[in-house]
């Protein structure tokens, strides 16, 4: 391919691909898929699937929240530049491939576009996205450096994109709540494991994460406690629906959960915690793909 592109074109291509990685396009795609699945299979069970997908408002909600989330990834990466320099110097994008000015300008542009679309949809969506935008900035600027609060707020913000769909349709059900709670718990555990993975940079730049405050050994015990707590939403979904097809997902997720716990027990180096993090990502992705089973 390089034979057909000159130096300037190759530079632009590299920056474009780096920028896609910066806004985590894979995550944006997964969030959009989760929103569509929730709209079709959870919140409009008695409406024809095609009728739900023909609603322009749904697509605009997905688009507007996508811009806000992309902006959140940008501002988070901006505030994490120094820490990423210590933890992943080879993967640093802002300041090395993408300029700080460009990153901040596109962050503001994405938020403006997202809020404008939200305003055109309804005042409820605009208000929700406005609060969401502020919390994403406040999390990146302040909250993520605080133990416990940072992990809880990061987990909460990661599922806000799901709740914007609930706000649009203005409805929710208890099986859905407990199913989402299981995914929230998985995301919270993943956030804590990420802290253990990035402990070197966090110590250098003064972050007070759970793994620093409690130490690795006690943080692992906390994770085991949260994993045990994962039985509760599974039991509540079973209580509400009985043995349904979604229980097969829970069985498989529980198996991966146990494997992750065993891997965490022997984890000592960064790559060990990264492997646990990856397995937890698999559980979350499978959970999103299984939304239609609830």
Render pLDDT for 124-133 as a digit per residue (tens, 0 to 9).
999 999 999 9
Give dist(CA 3, CA 148) in Å, integer: 51
Instruction: Please check the confidence at residue 121 and state whether its pLDDT lies above 60.
Output: yes
Give dist(CA 74, CA 109) in Å, integer: 11
Residue 111 Cα distances to 36, 129, 232, angstroms: 22, 9, 37
Output the pLDDT for position 12.
77
The residue count for the chain: 294
Tokens representing 234 are 């599974």
Domains of the chain: 1-172 (1.10.357.140), 173-294 (1.20.120)
Instruction: Please check the confidence at residue 103 and state whether its pLDDT lies above 90.
Output: no
Instruction: Please check the confidence at residue 189 and state whether its pLDDT lies above 70.
Output: yes
Instruction: Please check the confidence at residue 91 and state whether its pLDDT lies above 70.
Output: no
Render pLDDT for 147-167 as a digit per residue (tens, 0 to 9).
778 788 888 888 888 889 989
Read off the pTM.
0.82
């Amino acid at each position: 391919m390089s034979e057909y592109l000159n130096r300037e074109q190759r530079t632009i291509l590299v920056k474009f691909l780096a920028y896609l990685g910066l806004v985590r396009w894979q995550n944006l795609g997964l969030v959009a898929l989760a929103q569509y699945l929730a709209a079709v299979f959870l919140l409009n069970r008695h409406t024809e699937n095609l009728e739900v997908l023909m609603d322009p408002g749904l697509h605009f909600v997905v688009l507007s929240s996508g811009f806000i989330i992309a902006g959140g990834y940008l501002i988070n990466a901006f505030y994490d530049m120094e820490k990423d320099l210590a933890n992943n110097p080879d993967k640093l994008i802002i300041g090395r491939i993408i300029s700080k000015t460009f990153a901040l300008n596109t962050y503001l542009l994405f938020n403006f576009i997202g809020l404008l679309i939200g305003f055109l949809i309804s005042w409820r969506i605009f208000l929700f996205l406005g609060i969401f935008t502020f919390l994403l900035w406040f999390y990146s600027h302040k909250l993520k450096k605080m133990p416990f609060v940072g992990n809880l707020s990061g987990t909460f913000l990661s599922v806000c994109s799901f709740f914007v769909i609930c706000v649009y349709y203005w409805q929710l059900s208890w099986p859905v709540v407990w199913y989402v709670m299981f995914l929230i718990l998985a995301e919270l555990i993943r956030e804590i494991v990420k802290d253990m993975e990035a402990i070197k940079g966090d110590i250098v730049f003064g972050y007070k994460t759970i793994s620093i405050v409690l130490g690795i050994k006690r943080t692992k015990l906390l994770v085991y406690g949260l994993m045990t707590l994962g039985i509760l939403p599974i039991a509540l979904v079973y209580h509400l629906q009985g043995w349904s097809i979604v229980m097969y997902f829970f069985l498989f997720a529980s198996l991966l959960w146990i494997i992750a716990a065993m891997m965490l027990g022997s984890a000592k180096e960064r790559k060990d915690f990264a492997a646990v993090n990856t397995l937890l990502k698999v559980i979350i992705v499978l959970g999103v793909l299984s939304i239609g089973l609830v």
